[in-house]
Amino acid sequence: MEHVSCPRIYVETTLALIKPDAVHKSEEIEDIILKNGFAVLQRRTLLLTPEQCSDFYALHYGKLIFPRLTAYMSSGPIIALSLARDNAIAHWKSIIGPARATETHPECLRARYGTSELQNALHGSQSFHTAVREIKFMFPYTVIEHIHTREITHEYLNRHVNQTLMHGLNELCKRKPLNPCVWLADWLIKHNPNKPQICHGL
């Protein structure tokens, strides 16, 4: 039997920022984003105040770089992008590279477009929870649904769907009806394993 690969059903979102020093290269950067399989869900250009930058980078509060970071990020327009694809957070992080990227990762986007550890052109969320907070910060009216891992999704389908569905697909292939989608829908309703059983009195 020929193996048919299933489409990916696990989609993750992450926040990307094009920082003030790289905004003039935004068209080129966004083209790279699309070529790497990302969908741009939301995009906006904005100018943050120093106070907004302090809130966004609150996790860095108390570090020596914090005053320079907030001053730099409020020095000009930035572009915020909500990106989606399979394994989006890790993939975007690998593409932009580490903060100090010029020598260690010369092929990454920060080495290509950044000029220093501070002015490193791009930002990416570090984790799922960070991405949720950062996307909501930049796009306040966004609703982000909880995303299950690939393993949890497969376990759910295997437990509740796959056995019945495969049985129905096998019957469909045997019968080859004129309208296969309607036939399969009717078959699934009739053979639903969770359908209440009606017991008639003797």
Residue positions annotated with a catalytic role: 123
Q: How far apart are the first and last CA of the chain?
A: 46
Q: How far is CA 85 from the centre of its chain?
A: 5
Partnered with residue 18 across adjacent β-strands are 79, 122
User: What angle, 0 to 180 degrees and rounded to 10, lies between the N-to-C axes of helices 162-175 and 150-160?
Assistant: 60
Amino acid at 181: C
Alpha-carbon radius of gyration of the chain: 24
Contact 19/120 with Cβ under 8 angstroms? yes
Write phi, then psi, for 188 (nearest 5 degrees). -65, -35
Amino acid at 122: L
Which parts of the chain are beta strand (E)? 12-18, 39-46, 78-85, 122-124
